[in-house]
Amino acid sequence: MRIIDIRETAVPLKSSLRNAVFDFSEMTTSVVAVVTDVVREGKPVVGYAFNSTGRYACGAQMRDRFFPRILKADPDTLLDETGGNLDPEKVLACMMSREKPGGHTERSIAVGTIEVAVWDAVAKIADKPLHRVLAERYNGGRVQERVFCYVGGGWYEPGKGAEGLKDEIRAKLGDGYTMMKIKVGGAPIAEDVRRVEAALEVAGAGEHLAVDANAAFDRPRALAYAKALEPYRLRWFEEPCDPLDYALLAEVAQRYSPAIGTGENLFSTQDVRNLVLFGGLRADRDVIQTDVPQSYGIAQFSRTLAMLDQHGWERKSLFPHGGNQMTLHIVGGFGLGGCESYPGVFGIFAGFADDAKVEDGYLRLPDRPGIGFEAQNALYAVMRGLAA
């Protein structure tokens, strides 16, 4: 068997939402299709993925370097030991040939998106859901039936005040969620504190609410927010500063005793290792949020997990950024702490299967082969068109 074609298209998110740093009016994402010569029900097996949300489309790198390397490779060198399926580890190694170490963000998103699409094809060829394939390979065969999901919301929107925020949280609790994350940093600190208090009126205890500053703060503002938020004992304070500013992050951790969440803007195992070594994070409470499709993909993520284990971090402390079907399978397959959800936020890229239902904060894992994009009608229409 072999990969016979790989295709990419850029799709605009068409969103007017805003966080503390930027709005999404220009945001695009890359959709990838990996076409194999394996035929099922008269059609070739195709693996799909997209590069999450919050990063722009990266088709140029894909077409210039990574697609050609895969398609020029001897097909046998990309197969697993059985010869009957692809080996994503080998595909990753092929893409990384002639690449200099370092400079991760220039290529990690492009490479990771393709690699996750290969995993979708692998699981479809094996006729198993991706989370089961990952559990068998990376989690001792321990297969989860459901995963914890929280809502990433509370965006800054025109005309949306504290009452609008409370209405949003009521609606999400009514949909079965038990935890909400809202944005901070896009308003004066006193206004953001009022928003947190309003959110807690609906969410209840601080363990049901997290806040996200999107790495917007300099030292004075990061420390001011840490002091202001401390009494509320929130589930976590996400990205109080640039995650590569280890000195400032460590200072925030010293001043802020509840949990901190960070890492979605780190794109390599090396960067995450430096984060836990020098960023002052505490393995007994803090949360790491690597976005797997943007960080060289699943095989590399398994190495990040192994590194974290060596430094005393449990898998329950990982809540990958993403809020999509890909991340849902990754959380379930590796047995991680939980998955983000963006219902109704990022158009066709938001949420999970069209019929997915959250109950008491948990979402049942899908049982169809692969990632299951076929159960997301609007997104799959784009994917199917790309593979046609």
Residues 13 and 161 in one domain: no
Residue 132 lies in a domain: no
Residue 69 lies in a domain: yes
Residue 23 clears pLDDT 80, i.e. is over it: no
Rounded distance, CA 305 to CA 128, Å?
23
Residue 14 lies in a domain: yes
Residues 274 and 355 in one domain: yes
Q: How far is CA 201 from CA 101, 195, 263, 281, in A?
A: 49, 10, 29, 29
Active-site positions?
183, 321
Q: Where among 127, 148, 180 does a domain terminate?
A: 127
Q: What percentage of the chain exceeds 90 in pLDDT? A: 86
Residue 277 lies in a domain: yes
Residue 381 lies in a domain: no
Supply the mean pLDDT for the chain. 94
Rounded distance, CA 301 to CA 331, Å?
11
Rounded distance, CA 111 to CA 23, Å?
26
Q: Please, which pLDDT band fits residue 193 given cuts at 50, 70 and 90?
A: very high
Residue 242 clears pLDDT 70, i.e. is over it: yes
> Taking residues 72-89, what's their average pLDDT?
97
* CA 261 to mean position of chain CA atoms: 13
Burial class of 65 by CB neighbour count within 10 A (0 to 12, 13 to 18, 19+): middle
Say how many domains are in the chain.
Answer: 2
Query: Token pair of 126, please?
Result: 């094996």
Residues 192 and 90 in one domain: no
Query: pLDDT per residue over 108-164, tens digit each?
Result: 999 999 999 999 999 999 999 999 999 999 999 999 999 999 999 998 888 888 999
> Taking residues 257-262, what's their average pLDDT?
98
- 71: left (phi > 0), else alpha (psi -120 to 50), else beta? alpha
- Give the amino acid at 382: V
Helix axes 269-278, 246-255, angle to 10 degrees: 40
Rounded distance, CA 322 to CA 371, Å?
14
> Taking residues 191-212, what's their average pLDDT?
97
Q: What percentage of the chain exceeds 70 in pLDDT? A: 97
Q: What is the pLDDT of residue 111?
A: 97
Rounded distance, CA 326 to CA 342, Å?
13
Rounded distance, CA 119 to CA 112, Å?
11
Rounded distance, CA 49 to CA 47, Å?
7
> Taking residues 248-272, what's their average pLDDT?
97
Residue 20 clears pLDDT 70, i.e. is over it: no
Residues 219 and 292 in one domain: yes
Residue 368 lies in a domain: yes
Q: Where among 95, 127, 159 does a domain terminate?
A: 127
Residues 142 and 108 in one domain: no
Q: Where among 76, 95, 127 does a domain terminate?
A: 127
Q: Please, which pLDDT band fits residue 15 given cuts at 50, 70 and 90?
A: low
Residues 176 and 292 in one domain: yes
Residue 288 lies in a domain: yes
| Contact between residue 195 and residue 167 where contact means Cβ atoms under 8 Å apart | no
Residues 64 and 206 in one domain: no
Q: What is the pLDDT of residue 152?
A: 93
Q: What is the pLDDT of residue 13?
A: 79
Rounded distance, CA 49 to CA 342, Å?
17
Residues 263 and 155 in one domain: yes
DSSP annotation of 3 reads E
Rounded distance, CA 79 to CA 235, Å?
43
Q: Which residues contact 210 (CB under 8 A, 6 or more apart)?
A: 150, 179, 180, 181, 182, 234, 235, 236, 237, 238, 261
For residue 48, the surrounding DSSP H or E stretch is strand 43-50
CATH of the domain at 325: 3.20.20.120
Q: Please, which pLDDT band fits residue 273 given cuts at 50, 70 and 90?
A: very high
Residue 102 clears pLDDT 90, i.e. is over it: no
Q: What is the pLDDT of residue 16?
A: 63
Residues 257 and 360 in one domain: yes
Strand-pairing partners, residue 291, are: none
- Give the amino acid at 303: R
Query: pLDDT per residue over 301-360, tens digit each?
Result: 999 999 999 999 999 999 999 899 999 999 999 999 999 998 878 788 888 999 999 999
Rounded distance, CA 234 to CA 249, Å?
17
CATH of the domain at 101: 3.30.390.10
Residue 89 clears pLDDT 80, i.e. is over it: yes
> Taking residues 254-273, what's their average pLDDT?
96
| Contact between residue 302 and residue 277 where contact means Cβ atoms under 8 Å apart | no
Residues 161 and 44 in one domain: no
Residue 54 clears pLDDT 80, i.e. is over it: no
For residue 299, the SS3 value is helix
Residue 33 clears pLDDT 70, i.e. is over it: yes
Residue 325 lies in a domain: yes
Residues 27 and 7 in one domain: yes
> Taking residues 206-212, what's their average pLDDT?
97
- Give the amino acid at 93: A
> Residue 52 sits in which domain range?
3-127
Rounded distance, CA 357 to CA 168, Å?
18
Residues 87 and 158 in one domain: no
The model's pTM is: 0.95
